Chains A and B, each alone.
Chain A
Amino acid sequence: MEDRLRGLIEGNAEANRTKWALEWKKQGKKVIGTICLSVPEEIIYAAGMLPWRVSGTWRENTPLASAYRLPYTCPFCTHVLESLLTGELGFMDGVVFTDRDYDIVRLSDVWTEVGKTPFLHIMHLPQRDSELARLHLAKGIRALMGAIEKLGGKRITDESLSHAIDVYNERQALVANLFEMRKREKPPLSGAEVLGITTAAGVMPADEFNRELKALLPYIERRKPLLCNVRPRLLVSSDMLDNPAYLRVIEDAGCLVAMDDLDTGSRHFQQAVDTGHSDPAYALAKHYITGHGSARTGQWDEQAQQVVQWVKDFSIDGVVDLRQAWCFPRMWRAPFFQPKLAEAGIPNISIEREYHLANVGQLRTRIEAFLEMLGNTAGD
């Protein structure tokens, strides 16, 4: 069982992430990349296609992408473009973007010019939640449905969409079990391992992921923690973080990442889609607009309150804002967010990171110093 679990944890590793998609293609079915976790996977699934969350290469050098992108821009987008230009994403039949971030819009512009992907679609993502915004996003979701139907040559029926929502709700419920286990004093999984599983969910067919996780949950429940450290317990907050090695570096410094505030982690699995609503597009819009609060969306108060609540629920000792370099929405939010945490008496630190694993020594020094600081506070 441990090997099977390891397979799931390493599902999004560079060597593994395309294997399900390539298998899918062998069956004559289409694979649609999603760039942004607010793209409704349910629509793509309902059309009989595989929604596949696009990760960038984890290699340091991006010589091909650098011709199109300035150094002072989102490194996630640069590394994704590098993967596109090296041909690593050549198997995709389509890609769906949102305008969550202007860098993603710029990426879609370059993709349109130099990519050979047959189908490209960009969705507008409202900046904040309101009834009007939900209706607007629902309209965008219907437009995506129309485009996907045209690509697939068949209609997405109410039944197939309803089934897709059920499958993804089941996935959410299964992953929620992992987060519940993280509340334990000695969780069976490290923070890096949980991120491995949540990112694997983005590249595996949902039915297969659900089968795997359902089969593994009883084992995980009883799994003896491999961790050397169970305290201090940290919460790591970031966007576009899909490389668990970052969390391993943090945990190797002598702590446990007991909770995360990641779009690739807890935020993507926070809630289920409302199945009681008569309009599935509206239900999906509500789900994606309320459940994926990123720094780009304006609900900073709610986001801060959520983190403060997680700190209580998961017995967190300190928060690490592991912001990706040149992530301007995060930079704008930080002066608002940090005082909110300080007001709540939560020690926190902001550390800049690249998309690929880099500057490990500096990251480790900052984390060790933060842990020493937490030790001091706790000791006196």
Chain B
Amino acid sequence: MIAAGVDIGSMSAKAVILDDGVIRSWTIIPTGPDSADTARQVMDRALELAGLRPGDVGCLVSTGYGRVNVPFARRHVTEISCHARGASWLFPEARTVLDMGGQDCKAIKIDAKGKVLNFVMNDKCAAGTGRYLERIAAALELPLDRIGPLSLKPVEGPATISSSCAVFAEGDVLRLLRQGQHVNDILAGASVAITKRIRLLLDRVGVAEALVISGGIAKNVAVVTLVEQSFGLKARIAPEPQIVGALGAALFARDTLLTGSGHA
């Protein structure tokens, strides 16, 4: 029984194929301008990796901001429910999920079955999202994956950077660079700033252990460390945290095949 989930995010598209409840393949590609085309590409790649054809998929559920533009999806479910479901499947002890994607950040409280009990999301500005770190990385002309390791090695201590606005933060970075501040201190300051936003979100929903961090931010070792220190706990992180939403979508697709409903 083949079930699939496709997560069309603002920056990247993810697909997961489940075969009788086991992950058979997954893939991540950049999101293009056409959500339907991106969905087709990411699914084709996942099918290729799994050695399957489109006709082999019994049910496909889409999620992410482009979820309504996936023409071959049986139905769509929000990324909030999908991240909750995926995180709970990976870590049955999970009761709180922090997902930070390119466009938004969400804190989700879940029950033992992975169902959403409460959630909060960032306001519509980019501060507190993956986009914030992308702008910082771009201003410093650094690849995104170097931000975390460098942030953990400040020279004189974290610099003070705006946590309220991604645009102001970029201005802060340029100002600090002109003042001769070390890049590591600037990055450490950016990580502290984004963690403040995360803390606000998690406080609003109330953190219950275990905490799962998903989305691209989970790959940033500095932010993960700061969040863990802030709450005094050890976060659970999937081997590939970016596919948790697509995995949740695939699990909803599997429910549909098993029961005919697959209630979110």
Contact = CB atoms under 8 A, between A and B. Distances in A.
Bound pair: A and B?
yes
Interface of A: 347, 352, 359, 361-362, 365-366, 368-369, 372-373, 375-377, 379-380
A372 B80 contact: yes
Contact of B116 (A362, A366, A376): A376
Given A362-B124, A373-B118, A380-B115, A368 B78 contact: yes
Contacts of B264: 372, 375-376
A361 to B, nearest CB: 6
The interface residues of chain A, by DSSP majority, are classed as helix
A270 B121 CA distance: 33
A372 B263 CA distance: 8
A294 to B, nearest CB: 22
Contacts of A361: 65
B123 A352 contact: yes
Interface string B114-135: 0111110101100000000000
B35 to A, nearest CB: 11
A380 B78 CA distance: 19
B104 interface: yes
Given A372-B264, A375-B263, A365 B77 contact: no
B79 interface: yes
B81 interface: yes
A369 B80 contact: yes
Contacts of B118: 347, 373
Interface of B: 65, 77-81, 104, 115-119, 121, 123-124, 263-264
Nearest to B65: A361
A359 B104 CA distance: 13
B263 A365 contact: no
A365 B78 contact: yes
Contact of A373 (B65, B79, B119, B121): B119
Contacts of A375: 263-264
Nearest to B118: A373
B81 A369 contact: yes
A373 B124 contact: no
Given A362-B104, A365-B79, A369-B81, A376 B115 contact: yes
B65 A372 contact: no
A204 B227 CA distance: 55
A368 B123 CA distance: 16
A376 B263 contact: yes
Query: Which residue, of A362, A365, A375, A379, has the highest number of chain B Cβ atoms within 10 A?
Result: A365
9 contacts: A361-B65, A365-B78, A365-B80, A368-B78, A369-B78, A372-B116, A373-B118, A376-B115, A379-B263
5 cross-chain pairs, A with B, having the tightest CB-CB distances, nearest first: A369-B80, A372-B264, A369-B78, A376-B115, A373-B116
A376 B81 CA distance: 10
A375 B77 CA distance: 12
Given A347-B118, A372-B264, A376-B263, 16 more contacts: A352-B123, A361-B65, A362-B104, A365-B65, A365-B80, A366-B121, A369-B78, A369-B80, A369-B81, A373-B117, A373-B119, A376-B115, A376-B116, A376-B117, A376-B264, A377-B117
